[in-house]
Structure 1
């Protein structure tokens, strides 16, 4: 047994995978295994991975299944007491594992947040999202329950790599990522967060996020079609776990906004299909008991968007209504 399993999925990332792996191998904390999942790469990623000879590395090579399946497959074989995730274009700070392990074991937490910093190839910079501004000083140096953050959970970063997790807890709640879609970390995070009983935070940067033109969230393109099924999965999770009524006002706004902003920001050629996905989703909502909540709980801007989509036959008609 090892103390930490680091899970690193990679797909066609020959430019950055070496630095990601090296940042794990150079950690001040040494009792870990690194599970690298090569998710069907067709570039030189596999050769780079194979060049490492450290016996703490475990390599899974699979056909391309997407990041959700890659992480699920790695979790199935992980032997660590705790789980950390690393994206293949990012890297850990040198003492990330040591600090994260000390914190989560100190409070016997189910998961522990830490801060992330962005790097754009020239400079490092912070943003509120990854600075955990939602958690003021009253949350530091203790374990807390999600019941203490009822009005702010949708202001939290959903990034799976920003936390260390107790594996027994993940197994107990059968935590799994949705497969076959991007933005899989969003429903995963809310399920895990609201199932947790003990959470802690570290107000230190332990992780560096590389921002570049190929980052999944950096360019609003076809990948953002998946904000629709990710939002559907999120709604299902809240309903099935009895959380819907407590969070529905913020939940419905959150569900509307992801696809709404994606539709606004994606290239014109992608918008008709994105509109069709949203409309199909809303039509299915209209046939459920939750339709009335969308009419009464949404603010005026989001409600107008919701109704304009439903009243429009296609994106062209919707565009005229939105002007």
Structure 2
């Protein structure tokens, strides 16, 4: 008899037909099987739909919908889950075979843990990078400056219910960061398994890059305003951390200016800047 994991895996999919089978296989090959896998096609083009239509597995449910964005897509799928634990997985990423087993063990043994993630391997141009991303997890205090977790983590369904799910206003990114803050401020913690059990595929164009390059300030401001009382509570820590990061940034900037490449570049650009001033006159 196969042991029940009490886990539902949610895989939002938007035009990831090239990768979704690898993501699905990483779940089907777990040492502790998920009770159910829900793939939500968020308005993908035909090629991806063809891949999804070819999937035939008793534990896999596929939902097709018009494009609604990742927050609503996750919420729609989680509403259908009947298990206590939910595992998010982006359709272009994958887990190592022992992740579910190890994450379930943590959640079963500690009621104050709301979510479990792991260290992260980075896949770029189909080659694994040497560097391993090592988020810390922790309490809400560890999340007010940066996101110390990862989106593809396992969490308690009751925590999702407690905070009314993912905030659909965060359609441009950072929704997982805000989700963790919303949960952890209720005296919960996130545990990070200190093994690289998750692989993140880094693309040339991605929602994460877009969030950082185009919407970073607005998204951070939204999180700050929504959780203003939390930031007031940890005002001294928050302020000192910002000062520390600003100091590090300033030192790195000065170091960059002292490099030979910077000096050569400055010499090359100097006559161009001079010409620009002359033209403006």
Give yes or no for the alignment of 1:165 onto 2:170. no
Q: Residues 185 and 116 of structure 1: is their aligned pair in 2 closer, same or farther, counting only changes over 3 Å? A: same
Q: Indicate how the Cα distance of structure 1 residues 183 and 175 shifts in structure 2: closer, same or farther if over 3 A, else same.
A: same
The alignment status of 1:208 with 2:208, answered yes or no, reads: no
Alignment of 1:294-313 (within 5 A): none
Q: Report the equivalent of 1:119.
A: 123
CA distance in 2, matches of 1:81, 1:250: 34
Of 182, 187, 190, which aligns to 2:178?
187
Provide the rounded CA distance (Å) in 2 between the counterparts of 1:99 and 1:151. 23
Alignment match of 1:175 (pick from 165, 168, 173) = 165
Q: Is residue 110–residue 196 contact of structure 1 (8 Å, CA) maintained in 2?
A: no
Alignment coverage as a number of residue pairs: 243
User: Is the contact between residue 154 and residue 250 of structure 1 (CA under 8 Å) also seen in structure 2?
Assistant: no
Gaps of 5+ in 1: 136-144, 258-295, 303-323
Equivalences for residues 164-313 of structure 1 within 5 A: 164-179=154-169, 180-217=171-208, 220-221=209-210, 224-239=213-228, 242-248=229-235
Match in the other structure for 1:131: 134
Cα root mean square deviation, aligned:
3.2
- Distance apart, 1:152 and its partner CA: 6.6
* Aligned CA distance change for structure 1 residues 2 and 300 (closer, same or farther; 3 Å): closer
Aligned pairs for 1:5-154 (under 5 A) are 5-108=8-111, 109-120=113-124, 121-127=126-132, 130-132=133-135, 134=136, 146=139, 150=141, 153-154=144-145
- After superposition, give the CA deviation of every residue in 1:68-104 in whole Å (9 maximum; x if it has no partner): 1111111111112101111111011112111111122
Give the structure 1 partner of residue 264 of structure 2: none
For residues 253 and 47 of structure 1, the distance between their equivalents in structure 2, rounded to whole angstroms, comes to 52
Quick one: distance in 2 between partners of 1:221 and 1:173? 26
More strand by share: 2
The alignment partner of 2:72 has SS state of helix
Counterpart-to-counterpart distance in 1, 2:53 and 2:5: 22
> What whole-Å deviation, never above 9, does each CA across 1:23-79 have from its counterpart, x for those lacking one?
111212124211111111014111111211111111121111111111111111111
Contact conserved, 1:191 with 1:237, CA < 8 A, in 2? no
Distance 1:45 1:38 in 2: 9
Q: Give the secondary structure class of the aligned counterpart of 1:243.
A: helix
